[in-house]
Structure 1
Amino acid sequence: MELTRSQPQYGYALAGIQQDELSNLAEHHYLVTFTAWQLASQVKKAGAKIDIQKVLEFCLIHDLGELFGGDIAMPYARANPKAKIHAKAFEEENQRFLSKFFGNQSDYFKELGREILNAKSDECIIAKIADYIEVTHYKQYVKVFSKFDTDLVKPKLMEMIGKMKDPIAKRELNKFIKSWTVNISKKDIPEILYENAEK
């Protein structure tokens, strides 16, 4: 797992992010997990039947297969769907290889990997939503964010939410994403911190 610190997310290069600003897999996994924990906690608090531990497990392993390559940017994946199919197959093979290092949890790791690549359960969908949110927040953090980013990601997020089974989770995430896509570009981190500082 320590190798994730050194694996840059080179898919960001197509978004105009320079090499010295590329995120790495460890940072990405942490931030996705944190975001998903908050999303899952909120929908569960509203009454949704969500297994938060499962959401967190999906987040912790969701891109581990990219440790050996396979990270492609969303715009490229849309422009070349065949490349996305190959990248997904490559990532699945890498996860299968990595499962050997999980001892008696090898089969469980493989199953988690298969599930997150297909993202059909509500827990997987929350993890994937957090993934898209983190990528978009990172672009904002390194100041390459544009309206194009939310125009690209919002339909994908709404499509994922539409596939959710739990009606409460679906309703709450639908409201959240609509608000998030409108408000994400309105303030930078220093403004948010200043507004929330004790006066």
Structure 2
Amino acid sequence: MNTSTFLEILSVAEKLKCNTRHSWTSSGRHESVAEHSWRIALMALLMRDEFPNIDMDKVIRMCLIHDLGEAFTGDIPAFDKKEEDSKKEDEIFLQWVETFPAHYKEEFIELLAEMNERKTEEAKLYKALDNLEAVIQHNEADISTWIPLEYDLQFTYGSDKVEFSPYLKELKKEIDKRTTEKIAQNSEAITNK
């Protein structure tokens, strides 16, 4: 890849550092899309031993590119996102990827198709991590940043994505336990909301 193209791609990707998500960090600011993508890639890296038969390099690549379309569209919270929003994000992503050198263009197009189909173990794992990271982040944020629907969403979001893996089901169970504890510890704040 020539250096000019390389820098142009990074310039677009930099927008993920600027685009914020619905979630808040423990320090009291909105998290960026880039931070979310980085952490799900880290989650995949740390789970290598739990999934010895999965191509974790591919999962990490999926995690790193999965929200690149949001460099153009911004983030739409899962509870507001509609099918047409996802389609638009994919269309813009694919238009952008058309400008990439052939090898990268093919790789990114194939990864997106695999992620959207969610038939491979790699795609299933990436999507589970994408959902679980959001729930983990909400647990790390101050509960005052939660909106009313999130008290139930914390328990349901991602539950269907972990069913293929005993390890992920156990992780979701632990996350749910921590959610329950957080809500119980902050019940006065919830009552006054």
Say whether the fold is shared (TM-score over 0.5).
yes
**8 Å CA contact 1:70, 1:88 repeated in 2:** no
**8 Å CA contact 1:70, 1:91 repeated in 2:** no
The size of the alignment, in residue pairs, is: 167
Structure 1 gaps, min length 5? 78-83, 165-169, 188-199
Tell me, in whole angstroms, the C-alpha distance in 1 between the residues paired with 2:68 and 2:60.
Answer: 14
**8 Å CA contact 1:36, 1:130 repeated in 2:** yes
Tell me, in whole angstroms, the C-alpha distance in 2 between the residues paired with 1:55 and 1:34.
Answer: 10
Q: Do residues 99 (structure 1) and 97 (structure 2) align?
A: yes
1:54 to 35, 51, 58: 58
In structure 2, relative to structure 1, the CA distance for the partners of 1:182 and 1:86 (3 Å cut) is same
The residue that corresponds to 2:118 in the other structure is: 119
In structure 2, relative to structure 1, the CA distance for the partners of 1:91 and 1:107 (3 Å cut) is same
Give the TM-score normalised by structure 1.
0.70
Q: Do residues 4 (structure 1) and 13 (structure 2) align?
A: yes
Q: Report which of the two has the higher share of helix.
A: 1
Q: Report which of the two has the higher share of strand.
A: 2
Tell me, in whole angstroms, the C-alpha distance in 2 between the residues paired with 1:70 and 1:105.
Answer: 23
Identity of aligned residues (%): 23
Written as runs of structure 1 = structure 2, the 5 A alignment for 1:62-77 is 62-69=66-73, 71-77=75-81
Task: State the 1:185 CA deviation.
Answer: 6.1
Give the TM-score normalised by structure 2.
0.72
Aligned alpha-carbon RMSD (Å): 2.9
Task: State the 1:29 CA deviation.
Answer: 1.4
In structure 2, relative to structure 1, the CA distance for the partners of 1:31 and 1:96 (3 Å cut) is same
Q: Do residues 171 (structure 1) and 166 (structure 2) align?
A: yes
- Residues 149-186 of structure 1: CA distance to partner in whole angstroms, max 9, x if unpaired? 46314434231223x3xxxxx12211221122112564
